[in-house]
Structure 1
Amino acid sequence: CGANKDSYGGGVNRESYAYPFIHDNFEKEFGNMKFDVIIGNPPYQLEDGGESTRSSAIYDLFINKSLELSPKYITMIIPSRWMTNNAAGISERWTKKILNDKRIKIMNDYESSVGLFNGVSVSGGVNYFLWDKTYNGPCEYSFNYKNGEIISKKINLNSFDSNILIRDLKLHSIIEKVIAKEGNYHLSDKNNFSYYVSPVSFFGKGKQFLTNWKGYKDHKSNEFNIKYYLGSKGHKSNYGWVKESQVLNGKNKINKNKVFIKAATDLSKLDGNVFYGEPNSVCSQTYLVIGHNEDKDLTKEECFNIISYISTKFFRLLLETKKTTQHGSRKVYQFVPLQDFSKPWTDEELYKKYKLTQEEIDYIEGKIATME
């Protein structure tokens, strides 16, 4: 699993159960002993000595081991990022398995961990759950909002068969209305906005075009004649110039219209986060490329209409369905429906199109900041 005995097997100022719980053979140690209840607050991630900004989660190993022991009840408190496949080290297969487990009877989910642990903030919030061996049905799910509001509802944890849990219960009715209009758009990439969004490293490869890559020139020349958007702080213009041989991927889109959108952003500001990528331009791995598709080239007008759609609160609310941290790959756009991009879009048009109630509109307007 990657956990080492020195770090998780005891010692001064360390808990001593983690390593043996994951690795020991309980049948060999205890024979046919039955466990009634397993309660835990397991280690959340591997210690990496500070070398990584996103350590690998290991709490899934504790849940797996607990399920193997087949107790009557399991209750644990763990981070919530796994619910939307945003936890490093947690496989989508594992997430799907847990969401489809009808023995999870109760789950209490917190949007923010502030106030739950002294001096510790867990990105994406935390949850605790009760797994009941004899139960088979929907989960009594409660979502605790940052403002103190709590909403509870019996739900299937696998929201809309998407293999994620949409944690915010106020979102469910809005997505239901989008599905009523668009069908199961979220289950096929070609029917939602992720179709337009490129994988990471669209123009680069390996270390080429990483944010700190220095192979560009500050001034245009006959050789270095392709505009290169950096996305790094501290550069006077946010772009430099590269030559075609340095573009290792996506060469066929160099001279096409496109939109660049930062992979890591909260999208509260338009400037620098989302902008038109003119012909004869590429970007660093800081950005995802909208309009990368082989089977469709965007016009300049369509690009600006897409930017108008991204600027809406409706778009950004549905983006947050899967985007529990600032970083977002193309997968986080799964619940954003496609639109006709021959025209620009406003929130008012989208609210009307999907027949949202005033209560739903007020929720969106209050939750999502106006884009500056």
Structure 2
Amino acid sequence: MTTDGLPDLRREPHPNPIPAAERERLIADPGFGSLFTDHMFTMSYHADRGWHDARVRPFAPITLSPSAAVLHYAQEIFEGLKAYRYPDGGIGLFRPEANARRMNLSAERMAMPHLPEQWFLDSIAELLAVDGDWVPGQEEASLYLRPFMFASEQFLGVRPAKEYQYLVIASPAGAYFKNGPQPLTLWVSEEYNRAGPGGTGAAKCGGNYAASLLPQSEAIEHGCDQVVFLDAVNYEYVDELGGMNLFFVYENERVVYTPKLGTILPGITRDAIFTLASESGWEVRETDYALTRWRDDAESGALTEAFACGTAAVITPIGTVKSRKGEFTVAGGEAGKFTMQLRQAILDIQHGRAEDTHGWTTRIA
């Protein structure tokens, strides 16, 4: 990947990077989201200059004015993707072009500047060029990449900002499930919703996740792993989880249902599932899927599996669904065969263990 197009690109090596032996110790069991690599990528935007001052620099705190627009009007978007260690020691990405496209869709909805897709890819390549040794090699481990953009202009007027910062940081991540994926227990939120028609549900902005935190806390209080949201109009149709898309498997019909787009995030993993399921002889249907149907079909056995998907957990089976009106279980609370086959297929492509016949992987090193 060439990175010659990044404006005013400069590389500022860390004066005291973490020693190799300490780095290897840290990435052997990194957890998720609390350990960061030596460097970060930064780039600035001004309405009069466009994008400028691309830098790879030491990971460090950033300075913001107390009047920065992001702190008052929440103009902020982000992406999430991973770098994987291949069996031959190389490093690769999974569908980064899709993340680049989605980031611009989020930017458009949040009245933020367009970021050239190639520069999105180049910014990641530049960071990995100096911090590639931070990519773990153990089973299902990866280097989580977080590109994000926020309004940095100093003002208190309600309008789109004229100045922005774009950054990429990286965090080593261990296997999401150390003992294999365990079926989730979900809590149905019947008081709160994540997003409504015409809102920001399809944008990957921080406000959507902030809105999910209170109902997610409610889910935990009821002994559940995740919250599931219903549509904001009738509280009838399933929307998505706090951070994952949903699928419903009907083995006898060879059909998989999933909530249609509009108020939910168009997941990168979600889209890959469409392709892999279709290649396996399954039909995937995007539709309004009612909570009552989920319960009735789970109880009758017509619904044979249900699962959630996202970048962090890849694919996760769903076992039990709880609400104030009671609870029900899908497939005896066990992980389904089709769910686990899909999960393994995606993991094998991501980690370079299977042939990529779709052009989804991008080799960095």
> What's the TM-score, normalizing by structure 2?
0.26
> What's the TM-score, normalizing by structure 1?
0.26
Greater share of strand: 2
Select the structure of larger CA radius of gyration: 1
Higher relative contact order (CA 8 A, sep 6+): 2
